[in-house]
Amino acid sequence: MTAETDTQTTAVYKVTGMTCGHCEGAVTAELTALAGVSSVKAAAATGEVTVVSAAPLAEEDVRAAVDEAGYELAGRV
């Protein structure tokens, strides 16, 4: 899912391997470091990560950040 407003884009991704708050924090930290990202909400219970950014993010950048955190990007929801 991707939603665009006048100033921001929201995308929801499916991330596998998250099981707890520590997992959510690791994924959030890596994604927050990407240029243009203003907020990240990771939910281990659903495996969904919502990213709000100034412009759409390249999926390979999101995948690299999730990989760096130690998890796997399954794709967009």
Identify the pLDDT of residue 13: 98
* Cβ-Cβ contacts under 8 Å for 21 (sequence gap 6 or more): 44
Reduced to 3 DSSP states, what percent helix, strand and coil does the chain have, rounded to the nearest 5?
Answer: 30, 40, 30
pLDDT tens per residue across span 3-47: 655 689 999 999 999 999 999 999 999 999 999 999 999 999 999
d(CA 69, CA 27): 5
Identify the pLDDT of residue 7: 83
Level-2 CATH architecture, domain 20-71: 2-Layer Sandwich (3.30)
Identify the pLDDT of residue 69: 98
pTM, two decimal places? 0.90
- The domain segmentation of the chain, as residue ranges, is 20-71
* Cβ-Cβ contacts under 8 Å for 68 (sequence gap 6 or more): 30
